[in-house]
Structure 1
Amino acid sequence: MAAHTNSGSSKNAGSGVTYDVVIRGGRVIDPESGLDGVRNVGIVGDQILAVSEADLIGLREIDARGLVVAPGFIDLHSHGQGVGECRLQSLDGVTTALELEAGVAPVSVAYTRAAMEGRPINYGYSASWASLRMHVIGGAPLSGGASGPLDGLGSDAWRAPASPAQSAALMHMLERELVDGALGIGILLGYAPATDPAEYVDVAKLAAAAGVPTFTHARPLIEQDPGVVIDGAEELTRVAGQTGAHMHYCHINSTSTRHLDRVQALVEAVRAEGATMTSEAYPYGSGMSSIGSDYFHPDRLHVLGATGTPQDVIYAPTGETVASVARLLELRATDPSGLAFIKLFDEEKFADRIARICALPHTAIASDAVPFVIEGGHTYDPMQWPPPDFVRTHPRSAGTYGRTLRVAVRETGALSLPEAIAKCTVQPARVLEETAHMMRRKGRIQSGCDADVVVFDAERVTDSATYQHSVRPSTGFAHVIVNGVSVVSEGRLEEHALPGRPVRAWR
């Protein structure tokens, strides 16, 4: 529950108070209390202090008549942690974007860098199992950058079995990261599928002892790779029950592909037995990763690809559809860390899958946003807005939340508007609120909660980004407020606003 669970809806809530900001006359939806009605919202500093039917007086007023007022969206899975990427997400209603699946190392460096540079939205990181494994086993440097583990995915060295001494060093470094405020442990297990299952159990036990979640990119399923050490979904759910750790299943949609029903049944079964198990999904029919990773090996395209051929792959730096095995091998050799799309299914042919993914029970919406890709030879200033044409990304980096509201709510009715908002706000907040208590004040529109607020037009909100034009911002988000400061006003980015704050675990 939030620190203050009173909805603040009393008719005299505003008496004698002048607020810094008043959001007037909008349809306020608070997913925790169940409030869904026309209210005025009063903000002082970085807090919501009133949610009231009474008239409120503000130094600045936002006319929200005919619009929805909701908690700012919380993205548990965002690799795009630069200023430009965060700006793009703010225009999609995001007020907190966290790098939890891959994580970073050292987290102290990442937090310091973000604080010095400034961010338009709130930020935070898990400890990166992959980065530390790359360091301990492969000798890779630790930069604290969000792209660190992603850049190393094409290397083979870090996937080797760990010696007892290396395992001990890895666990010690993970423990140190948790002491330094990491929000949990990010585990890219699917990129090192030959890892000893005992190592995964040890990492989960460490997380359980520290009281933090793990965020796992699971190994392949047995249907996808009959030779896998252990079925990815069976392993993740079994470890949840075995260790008592909070296990979070990252992008359950893309790792499960055509076997989602079986995987979801496993998750629901272990939850029913009392395990702490959460998950997330994104509303797109393609994934994205480093082209040098195992998923893009010609012999493994069948694991995720719609057809299992190179034509499922689009190389992001040039936008080309890979025409042949020879071209795929060339790209893997010359640019192993280069980002590429892989088509999971035809979004137009199977449009109903998008709505079904959004409506999965106990599953938050999370973008899996990726860092900007710069076409060869160009230089990009991260403070430049809007991003120039030579900047590319996955469209989910720009439009996950607009697309969810359009497809799952307005077009298909798979979710009600309050249900969809809950999946974007209080549900992800609850994943972290035992680890980072400040999350108890996020994902809610209540007196005493953080002034992270989104105001949008439910009848026209939509994603705009495509695979060809991937940095087009969503539309329909009129205002986005972070810690009481407007970062989007009248649908336009406030370019000088950098009010984002760290989300950090302190033990």
Structure 2
Amino acid sequence: MSTGASFDLVIRGAAVADGLGAPLAIADVAVRGDRIVAVGEVAGRGGVEIDGAGKVLAPGFIDVHTHDDWAVLAEPQHACKVLQGCTSIVVGNCGTSIAPGGEQVVARGGGFESIGAYLEALDNDPASVNTAALVGHGSVRTSVIGLRDNRPATEGELSAMRALVERAMVDGAVGLSSGLIYEPGKYAPEAELVALAGVAAAAGALYTTHMRNEGVGLLDSIAETVRLAEQTGVRVQISHHKASGRGAWGLVTQSLALIDAACAAGLDVMADQYPYTRGSTLLEQIVRAGELHGFGPEGDLTPAQVLIGAAPHHPEWEGRTLTELAEEWGCDGRAAADRVVAEEGRGCIVVLDTMTEADVETVMAHPSTLIGSDGIPLGGKPHPRLHHTFPRVLGHYAREKGVFSLETAISRMTGLSARRFGLADRGEVREGAYADLVLFDPDVIADTGTFTDPTTVPAGIDRVWVNGVCVAADGEHTGARPGRALRFSR
């Protein structure tokens, strides 16, 4: 703090969003250390003074659905999130977490023994963002049974998996995630999920799920998820709620009605969403599921709808569709997919054009929906959601399309998200909250990335602070790494 200053930072005259949906209010916000200490008319001087007139000051955005487990270690500045206003992320989604890794995986540096060990690594070598972790059912099952063992767990194996989830809860995991479309999650019977979700329920934590089918089987998947909540009492978070594949378009009206009915019956069921009509996943998953042969959740997926986002061994393939590669190689699209998987394995990430805009807006408008990018930080042409999810929601969907108010949009990516995932004193602008903040121009904020140029810097974000430290200013990273490992708080 500067000599004579009452506060480390004062942001003056901004339109303050509290993070819980209240109307914007012009106020000063003062920060001392890592906490907000005053909101209103602040008389004392700050060591740093920022003029917020004409801007919105909001809690830093919380990305509740990421796959950044390794990225915050390998590239701790994590500019893809910081520059779009994110101050906290949740890793370990879709059943895949960096821990527990199993003895062989840990020995070769492919993971951590426990969620606790992972969080301690972040304590010791901080990133620019705060990081909370889910424990992945798929990672737990792989460490006990194996990746491709298509069978139910034995009683001994189920006991071992339960013990791993219990340890993760003690270590501070914010919940248990599942990826039931992927190996090994798709081999797990409902009873296995009930047993493990019950451990999360006992801890008060979440069960987040990439359901078995987001296409024509969407409603059956919702029903399975609701049954799990009924049997365990666990709080449920449906990951990236959508209807994927032309045959499923429009089903979100019914899936949202099922969520409403579950909540009316006393269950706690919510969802999250990314703001695009294209998704992204492993090409290997598509090939193994027979998607390009008319099988799998989407059923009607064509090679022209599959864009290569990451091909580590062949970056020249990135940004091209399977159809384009097939024409170059003189084969059909399915053969092209087989060739890419043979040469890239699980390293190939693709972007899929499978959804409709009407469904995206319907899901986004529903009060059950939080915002999460589902970005995959790999390759030279990643889905633009990795860099642009939050500005796109605020600029395109709130300001331009009027899907919801700015205040509501902010609450779905800040205060409500923090409360949902047990992140104490995060996601709100109030006295005593952590000073995770973003200052932006509401008339300018926008996503600028495209599917051919996805890694641009979003427009309209002036400043970002994490725990009171400025990590981004005018579209540039400051180099600061004040992030913390976050543990679950009831």
**TM above 0.5, one fold?**
yes
Query: Does the 8 A contact of 1:306 with 1:345 survive in 2?
Result: no
Q: Which moved more, 1:361-370 or 1:187-196?
A: 187-196
Q: Which ranges in structure 1 are unaligned for 5 or more consecutive residues?
A: 1-15, 139-154, 374-390, 434-438
- The structural deviation recorded for 1:254 is 5.6
Q: Which moved more, 1:23-32 or 1:37-46?
A: 23-32
Once the two structures are superposed, the pairs formed by residues 352-363 of structure 1 within 5 Å of their partners are 352-363=358-369
Structure 1 counterpart of 2:127: 119
Once the two structures are superposed, the pairs formed by residues 409-424 of structure 1 within 5 Å of their partners are 409-424=398-413
TM-score (ref. length: structure 2): 0.85
Q: Residue 34 of structure 1 aligns to a residue in which SS?
A: coil
2:450 is aligned, of 459, 466, 472, to: 466
- Alignment deviations for residues 305-356 of structure 1 (CA, whole Å, 9 cap, x no partner): 594212221222222211211111222333231232342436xxx5444433
- Alignment deviations for residues 205-228 of structure 1 (CA, whole Å, 9 cap, x no partner): 121122211111111158349xxx
What is the alpha-carbon root mean square deviation over aligned residues? 2.4
1:500 is aligned, of 471, 478, 483, to: 483
Query: Does the 8 A contact of 1:42 with 1:58 survive in 2?
Result: yes
Structure 2 counterpart of 1:166: 157
1:491 is aligned, of 459, 471, 475, to: 475
Structure 1 counterpart of 2:329: none
- The structural deviation recorded for 1:33 is 7.3
Query: Does the 8 A contact of 2:216 with 2:297 survive in 1?
Result: no
How far apart, CA to CA, are the structure 2 residues paired with 1:104 and 1:265? Answer: 35
2:29 is aligned, of 37, 41, 49, to: 41
- Indicate yes or no: 2:95 matched with 1:95: no
How far apart, CA to CA, are the structure 2 residues paired with 1:472 and 1:131? Answer: 33
Once the two structures are superposed, the pairs formed by residues 33-182 of structure 1 within 5 Å of their partners are 34-81=22-69, 82-83=71-72, 84=75, 86-101=78-93, 102-105=96-99, 106-138=114-146, 157-182=148-173
Structure 1 residues 42 and 52, CA, compared in 2 at 3 Å: closer, same or farther?
same
Q: Residue 440 of structure 1 aligns to a residue in which SS?
A: coil
How far apart, CA to CA, are the structure 2 residues paired with 1:306 and 1:115? Answer: 44
Structure 1 counterpart of 2:336: 327
- Indicate yes or no: 2:438 matched with 1:446: no
Q: Residue 444 of structure 1 aligns to a residue in which SS?
A: coil
2:199 is aligned, of 196, 206, 229, to: 206
Structure 2 counterpart of 1:13: none
Structure 1 counterpart of 2:393: 404
- Indicate yes or no: 2:347 matched with 1:338: yes
How far apart, CA to CA, are the structure 2 residues paired with 1:69 and 1:123? Answer: 22
1:429 maps to a residue whose letter is: A
- Indicate yes or no: 2:174 matched with 1:183: yes
Query: Does the 8 A contact of 2:5 with 2:47 survive in 1?
Result: no
- Alignment deviations for residues 215-252 of structure 1 (CA, whole Å, 9 cap, x no partner): 11111158349xxxx92111001211221111111111
Structure 2 counterpart of 1:146: none
Query: Does the 8 A contact of 2:282 with 2:349 survive in 1?
Result: yes
How far apart, CA to CA, are the structure 2 residues paired with 1:470 and 1:222? Answer: 26
Q: Which ranges in structure 2 are unaligned for 5 or more consecutive residues?
A: 100-113, 312-316, 324-332
- The structural deviation recorded for 1:491 is 2.9
TM-score (ref. length: structure 1): 0.82
Identity of aligned residues (%): 30
Q: Residue 172 of structure 2 aligns to a residue in which SS?
A: coil
Q: Residue 79 of structure 2 aligns to a residue in which SS?
A: helix
1:364 is aligned, of 370, 382, 391, to: 370
Structure 1 residues 275 and 54, CA, compared in 2 at 3 Å: closer, same or farther?
same
- Alignment deviations for residues 248-296 of structure 1 (CA, whole Å, 9 cap, x no partner): 1111126696221121111111011111112101101122122212576
Structure 1 residues 86 and 371, CA, compared in 2 at 3 Å: closer, same or farther?
same
- The structural deviation recorded for 1:185 is 0.8
1:196 maps to a residue whose letter is: P
How far apart, CA to CA, are the structure 2 residues paired with 1:296 and 1:407? Answer: 36
Q: Which moved more, 1:157-166 or 1:183-192?
A: 157-166
Query: Does the 8 A contact of 1:295 with 1:303 survive in 2?
Result: no
Structure 2 counterpart of 1:280: 272
How far apart, CA to CA, are the structure 1 residues paired with 2:341 and 2:258? Answer: 35
1:396 maps to a residue whose letter is: R
2:80 maps to a residue whose letter is: L
**Number of aligned residue pairs:** 445
Query: Does the 8 A contact of 2:206 with 2:234 survive in 1?
Result: yes
Query: Does the 8 A contact of 2:273 with 2:373 survive in 1?
Result: yes
Structure 1 residues 98 and 34, CA, compared in 2 at 3 Å: closer, same or farther?
same
1:399 maps to a residue whose letter is: H
How far apart, CA to CA, are the structure 2 residues paired with 1:213 and 1:440? Answer: 15
How far apart, CA to CA, are the structure 1 residues paired with 2:252 and 2:21? Answer: 31
Once the two structures are superposed, the pairs formed by residues 224-243 of structure 1 within 5 Å of their partners are 224=217, 231-243=220-232
Query: Does the 8 A contact of 1:187 with 1:216 survive in 2?
Result: yes
How far apart, CA to CA, are the structure 2 residues paired with 1:328 and 1:334? Answer: 10
2:257 is aligned, of 258, 262, 265, to: 265
- Alignment deviations for residues 79-126 of structure 1 (CA, whole Å, 9 cap, x no partner): 124244722111111000111423331212321332333200100111
Structure 2 counterpart of 1:252: 241
- The structural deviation recorded for 1:22 is 0.5
